[in-house]
Chains A and B, each alone.
Chain A
Amino acid sequence: MAVATIPHSPFAHDDPEVDLLYSETRELRVQGFLLFMVSDLVLFSSFIFAYLYLRSSGQGWPPPGGPKLDLALASINSVILFGSGATMHFALENWKHSKFMKFAGWMVATIVLGSLFLSGQVIEYAKLAVGWGDSGIFGAGFYTLTGMHGFHVFCGVIYLTVLLLQATHGTYTFKKYTGLTLGTLYWHFVDVIWVVLFSIFYLL
Chain B
Amino acid sequence: MSEAAQHTIAHVERILAVIFGLVVLGVALVALKNDWHSKGIENQVFKMMLGLLALGAFLAILAAFNVLAGHGVEV
Contact = CB atoms under 8 A, between A and B. Distances in A.
A27 B41 contact: yes
A120 to B, nearest CB: 10
B: interface residue count bin: 35 or more
Given A68-B72, A68-B73, A203-B69, A79 B17 contact: yes
Interface string B46-75: 100110110111011001101011111111
Contacts, number: 137
A86 B24 contact: yes
A138 B60 contact: no
A75 B13 contact: yes
A52 to B, nearest CB: 13
Contacts of B24: 79, 82-83, 85-86
Interface of B is mostly: helix
Given A31-B41, A75-B64, A192 B73 contact: no
Nearest to A142: B72
Given A69-B74, A188-B46, A82 B10 contact: no
25 contacts: A68-B73, A69-B73, A69-B74, A72-B10, A74-B63, A74-B73, A78-B17, A79-B17, A79-B20, A80-B20, A83-B24, A85-B53, A89-B27, A89-B31, A184-B46, A185-B42, A188-B49, A188-B50, A188-B53, A191-B49, A192-B53, A195-B55, A201-B70, A201-B72, A203-B70
Given A27-B41, A72-B64, A185-B46, 9 more contacts: A30-B41, A71-B63, A74-B73, A76-B64, A78-B17, A79-B24, A82-B57, A202-B70, A204-B70
Interface of A: 27, 30-31, 34, 61-62, 66-76, 78-80, 82-83, 85-86, 89, 138, 181, 184-185, 188-189, 191-192, 194-195, 198-199, 201-204
